[in-house]
Structure 1
Amino acid sequence: MSYIEVSSDGPVTHIRLNRPASHNALTPDMHHDLEAAFNEFAQDSDAMIAVVSGAGDHAFCAGSDLNFDVLDMCYPDHGYAGLAQRFDLAKPVIAAVNGYALGGGFELALACDIIIATDSASFGLPEPLAGMVALGGGLHRLARQIGLKQATGLILTSRTISADEGYRLGFVNEVVRPEYLQSVVDRYCADILRASPAAIRASKQAMMYGLDEPSVAKALAQQANIPEFVRWRISEDAREGPLAFTQKRPPRWTS
């Protein structure tokens, strides 16, 4: 039985963890189902944005299901939840978080580009309390996204924090009431979809690749070699945007 639901709303792919009775905790099969879902999203030329959510009102994802042996688990090619090591995905991924995002659930959210959370959401990496270590990239992403000292405090104390504190620390983009979560996610999607898909992909990839460089100067020097940046430079969108602006009409994106 699959506990992953995938649906499409035009250019938006919705990937929902559907195991609410277990707080959407991830089983071994779910990792591979998520790998397949993100593979299909990445390869679908009509899919522009992915939105990841959890079924029910209590949890986005409570991490790994500890009824399974997580130490010897065979993760898919792109790592935890099929996303943690998917470093070449240039399309935007949004996490819509309602309820707990703990352990691997927090790591899944951190691997997304944007986090929209309800005011009842909470986040944490409590693995050490169970004698475990966060293996899905959370240790590294959290330190990069909020700074070393703040990340160290959260990781070593195993604290769970609110969405408001996540917003203050900088890893949550917006905090909303639960009844407004979908409409705010829809707004983010609509805003992204106004722009050239080629330019969006180039912008995300240039930003992420640039973080691997030691300085802004190095990042700028390497920018012209980034695959999606190269594709954007030769795309029709790169010409259509300025032309539409000068002709005072809406652009017609094709890339």
Structure 2
Amino acid sequence: MSYEYINYEVEGALAIITINRPEAHNALNARAHVELENAFDRFAADPDQWVAIITATGEKAFCAGHDLKQQAAGGGMVVPETGFAGLTGRFDMNKPVIAAVNGVAMGGGFEIVLASDIVVASENALFALPEPRVGLAALAGGIQRLPREIGLKRAMGMMLTGRRVTAQEGYQLGFVNEVATGNVLDAAKRWAVDILACSPLSVQATKEAVLKGLTVPVEQALVDEWAYPAMQAMLASADAVEGPAAFAEKRAPKWQGK
């Protein structure tokens, strides 16, 4: 499909998805949601794309959340089945997603961040779930994910007040991996390069096992992980042979993703 509110770029095995509504602080209207869902569908289905970065145009805002002006005008709160931005409800995608946060990430914008696997934030980034301040609630996973990522009391301190958290505090709380002193997209690409140095099937198997293992006791997770689809695909792959061979031959592995 053609895109009006996002950009989709490919750099080798890396996909870069950019929200492009800077005039609206990159808030998502109905069309932007559809485009983002299509972009993540495209990324998930492409065997040659192994890592994605989600970012936005401009330096002021990553995503100000749902387009409240659209809602106030009677447009409703239209969200795809795969969740806010086509990401927050996408529980079957094992490929890693990096959020490169270039400014304000509020409401649904913060929920995009919480649904990502690695978060790199600019020094001016701000995070909040301010929905209670406008008579709403964080219904795209923020209520569930934030306590799991930073602990109940600290999450309650953010969610019940709607207060804003800086990038540095986000790093201290544990939901930000790096506060970038330079260009945030360049920093996110550094993380992508490190991931791409690993076997893509190993990365996918790891993500699947980690996320599924969070909901069961450790002893059960240790048994279950052998049966997970991504783990079985990894163990049966050519890459599982290539990795040890490359190590023994003291050379860089040539991953095929199969």
**Shorter-normalised TM range:** over 0.9
Rounded Cα–Cα distance in structure 1 between residues aligned with 2:168 and 2:79 = 32
Rounded Cα–Cα distance in structure 2 between residues aligned with 1:6 and 1:238 = 31
Q: CA RMSD in A?
A: 1.3
Rounded Cα–Cα distance in structure 2 between residues aligned with 1:108 and 1:185 = 15
Which SS does the other structure have where 1:15 is aligned?
strand
Residues 1-255 of structure 1 mapped to structure 2, 5 A cutoff: 2-69=4-71, 72-177=76-181, 179-213=182-216, 215-255=217-257
CA deviations over 1:119-172 (Å, ceiling 9, x no partner): 110000001111111111111110110011110110001100100000000000
Rounded Cα–Cα distance in structure 2 between residues aligned with 1:180 and 1:80 = 26
In structure 2, stretches of 5+ residues that fail to align are none
Shift of 1:72: 4.2
Rounded Cα–Cα distance in structure 2 between residues aligned with 1:246 and 1:209 = 32
Which SS does the other structure have where 2:68 is aligned?
coil
CA deviations over 1:24-68 (Å, ceiling 9, x no partner): 001011111111000000000110111011111100000011112
Conservation of the 8 A alpha-carbon contact between 2:125 and 2:166: yes
Rounded Cα–Cα distance in structure 2 between residues aligned with 1:254 and 1:169 = 37
Number of residue pairs the alignment of both structures matches: 253
Rounded Cα–Cα distance in structure 2 between residues aligned with 1:244 and 1:33 = 40
Which SS does the other structure have where 2:62 is aligned?
strand
Rounded Cα–Cα distance in structure 2 between residues aligned with 1:8 and 1:46 = 10
Which SS does the other structure have where 1:195 is aligned?
coil
Rounded Cα–Cα distance in structure 2 between residues aligned with 1:149 and 1:20 = 34
Shift of 1:76: 1.5
TM-score of the superposed pair, with normalisation by structure 1? 0.96
Rounded Cα–Cα distance in structure 1 between residues aligned with 2:215 and 2:32 = 30
In structure 1, stretches of 5+ residues that fail to align are none
Which of structure 1's runs of 4+ aligned residues deviate more than 4 A?
none
Kindly provide the amino acid, as one letter, of the partner of residue 46 in structure 2: D
Shift of 1:69: 2.5
Rounded Cα–Cα distance in structure 1 between residues aligned with 2:19 and 2:250 = 43
Kindly provide the amino acid, as one letter, of the partner of residue 195 in structure 1: C
Rounded Cα–Cα distance in structure 2 between residues aligned with 1:16 and 1:105 = 13
CA deviations over 1:195-243 (Å, ceiling 9, x no partner): 1111111111111111121x11111110111110010010011111111
